[in-house]
Amino acid sequence: MVSRYLSRNGTYGSGTAPADPPPDIRSLLWDMLRQIPRGSVTTYGALAESLGDRAAARAVGSLLSENPTPPDPPCHRVVYADGRTGWYKGKGKGAEEKISLLRDEGVDVIDGRVDLKDHIFRDFDTVPVLQSLMAEQVTLSENIVYDGGPLPDTLSAIDVSYRGDTAYAARVDFSFQDGSELGQGRARTTVAFPYIPGYLSFREAEAMEPLLVDDGRLHVIDGNGILHPRGAGIACHLGRGGHRTMGAAKSLLTGELSGSSIILDGEERGRKVGKYFVSVGNLVDLSQAEEALSRMLEMGVDPCRRAHSEATRFKKSV
């Protein structure tokens, strides 16, 4: 849903209201595993494709390694695309146990491989939820506002640290005038959505949203804005309710670096500032995003690093 709001400087813009909670990927995946018949196997890629995005195959493997109650659901029935059986119960573990379970179910395993043409199962009855999330990102990208007026007096950097599925988010506030630290905020949340590259927003937004301040300040988010395969990273998600946001990522998720510009689909989507890759979230243009972080770094203040340190400190204190 798109809403309109009045910013502190009196200019109007539009933002997308927060969406419903993300789907429970783990439960969907466990249900899919239970659909694989005895004597059959599937692949990580087939599971990811049924969820809506084959690129999530590595994330599927990570989730299966977290299965708390094997062999139910039967994650031993998942193999690599070339038939290799791989590990069981975590990286480097249980290879022989996995082979034994498969053989007990009538699956031929020769030299650590399964002949997929004789045993493959792909007919999952599930919902391709990642397709829906991709569509949500595309819609959000079409509603980004690039004009929020002059840069405000306050900048807040937000980052999150994890222990398991518990997220420890921290916000550190700074003055744009002299770089002095003005205050902090913290929020702890249990998140259910797993880490899947390209879908970070659906994992971290829930943890960061409580720290957003509705006073027109600029929020620097650890992650991407429009520098994203579908044009809407976490900084865009956090800006959809009318907050001014920009992304500052530590690594380049997508696009090609040309000088200080980052080009994606023939457009400049971001710029490199110091060791960060900055991009628009909402209610700020790219030149302002670059200026905001550059100004802080020139004053000897790295707001992103401070937020990261505070999030880590928060986690360790609990």
Residues noted as catalytic = 75
* Beta bridge mates, 262: 257, 270
The DSSP symbol for 259 reads T
The DSSP symbol for 205 reads H
* Beta bridge mates, 249: 277
Write out the two tokens for 106. Answer: 């009538």
Quickly tell me which residue has 């493997």 as its tokens.
61
167 SS3 class: strand
Provide the H-helix boundaries in the chain: 25-34, 44-51, 57-64, 95-104, 116-119, 129-141, 201-208, 234-239, 286-298, 303-317
Q: Which of 137, 95, 135, 102 is nearest to 116 (CA)?
A: 102
Write out the two tokens for 258. Answer: 């040309």
Q: Which of 160, 158, 159, 179 is nearest to 168 (CA)?
A: 160
